[in-house]
Amino acid sequence: MKRFFKILGIIIGLLILVFFILAFTQPKVAHIVRTRTWKASQPVVFDQVVRFKNWPHWSPWVEIEPGVKLTYEGVDGQPGSSYTWVGDETGSGKMTNIAVTIEKMKYELEFIKPWHGRSSGSISVEAQQTGEVKVTWEMEMIATFPFNALNFMFDHSVGKDLERGLELLEAYTVAHPQIEMTESNIVERSFPATNYATIRKSVSFAEMKDFSESVFRKIREAAPERIVGPPATFYYRWEDSAQKYEIGPAYALSGSGPLPDKDITVMPVPTSTVISLLYKGGYANLGSAHRILQDYAGKRGMNIVNVLEEYISGPADDPDSTKWATNVIFFVK
């Protein structure tokens, strides 16, 4: 018996030694990354990622516990929005959106039960030239000494959850290839100060297409290295009955200096409050997005200052109009 306890003591001592060796050699942050690529529209997939109210469609943790209680706060899809969960199997905690770009959302996680902890992560959705999307889900798990000795286990355990989430996200977006056009998808946000290269002119509806294409071409030729966004159009005035429109086809630019083509104006747009709606489909029905935004602004007493359309994808990217995406933005006060 003494020999047994002696051997057991040696084993326990070795395990403790290994544990502390790992604690001294393992980083305090475990970085977990999983990537998946499939055929889908980037705006459709990103809409699922950036809006927490869409996560139950594909969340691996909701799959584990479908009855988990979810509570949402803030403007869904924007920095500062969050959701909390309370469940028997998944514990409780809070996820907060801390930053958003056109293809990436960063978040912070606070675990409350069964243990307290924090981590951070991001999900990016990148459009590929093949018509596919590349989705990368990253998480950083932070552990203090000596519990960082267990960080090597997180890549396996948490990595399996991320892999399953990407599988479910693919299945859902393939089965639901459209973004629903409702007020619930309108985003209220701060629009950053931006410089635009543009040519402003009053045109008829019949002239609009040729005029816009000529302006886009002139800007690309004048400042290819300064263009930092998709083609866009400002709408200053419109008379639908007369089919007359004052528009400014434009590109967002880096820097504020003038361009060599004197017909092109570099126009500064200050930091502004906007409401926006991502529309997917051919341009014939684009007016529906404008009407939804107009109704939304009217109900809330917002004054519309300016209107901008950003052409995220269009005829130059794919002949299939169901895959075109336009971000309709209303500048409001």
In CATH, which of 2.60.98.20, 3.30.70.260, 3.30.530.20, 3.40.630.10 is domain 26-175? 3.30.530.20
Q: How many CB atoms lie within 10 A of CB 78?
A: 16
For 60, the token pair is 């691996």
pLDDT at 21: 46
What's the CA gap between 96 and 115, in Å, rounded? 18
Cβ partners under 8 Å of residue 155, min gap 6:
30, 32
pLDDT at 12: 52
Please answer whether residues 94 and 112 qualify as being in contact, where contact means their C-beta atoms are separated by less than 8 angstroms. Answer: yes
Q: Peptide bond preceding 66: is omega within 30 degrees of 0, i.e. cis?
A: no
Q: What is the CA radius of gyration of the chain?
A: 25
What's the CA gap between 198 and 211, in Å, rounded? 12
97: which strand partners? Answer: 107
Q: What is the CATH number of domain 183-332?
A: 3.20.80.10
What's the CA gap between 160 and 182, in Å, rounded? 34
Q: How many CB atoms lie within 10 A of CB 10?
A: 10
Domains 26-175 and 183-332 fall in the same CATH topology: no
Please answer whether residues 74 and 50 qualify as being in contact, where contact means their C-beta atoms are separated by less than 8 angstroms. Answer: no
Residue boundaries of the structural domains of the chain: 26-175, 183-332
pLDDT at 77: 82
pLDDT at 280: 80
Walk along the chain (333 residues) and give the pLDDT tens digit of each residue: 555 445 545 455 444 444 444 444 555 567 899 999 999 888 789 889 988 989 999 999 999 999 999 999 987 888 899 999 999 999 999 999 999 887 899 999 999 998 788 889 999 999 888 889 999 999 987 655 444 445 556 777 789 999 999 999 999 999 887 666 667 778 888 999 999 999 999 998 889 899 999 999 999 999 999 999 999 999 998 876 677 889 999 999 999 999 999 999 999 999 999 999 988 888 877 887 888 899 899 989 999 999 999 999 888 888 877 778 899 999 999
Cβ partners under 8 Å of residue 300, min gap 6:
none
CA 237 to chain centre: 31
pLDDT at 327: 93
Provide the whole-model pTM.
0.54
pLDDT at 69: 96
pLDDT at 116: 80
The DSSP-derived string for 123-169 is EEEEE-TTSEEEEEEEEEEE--TTGGGGHHHHHHHHHHHHHHHHHHH
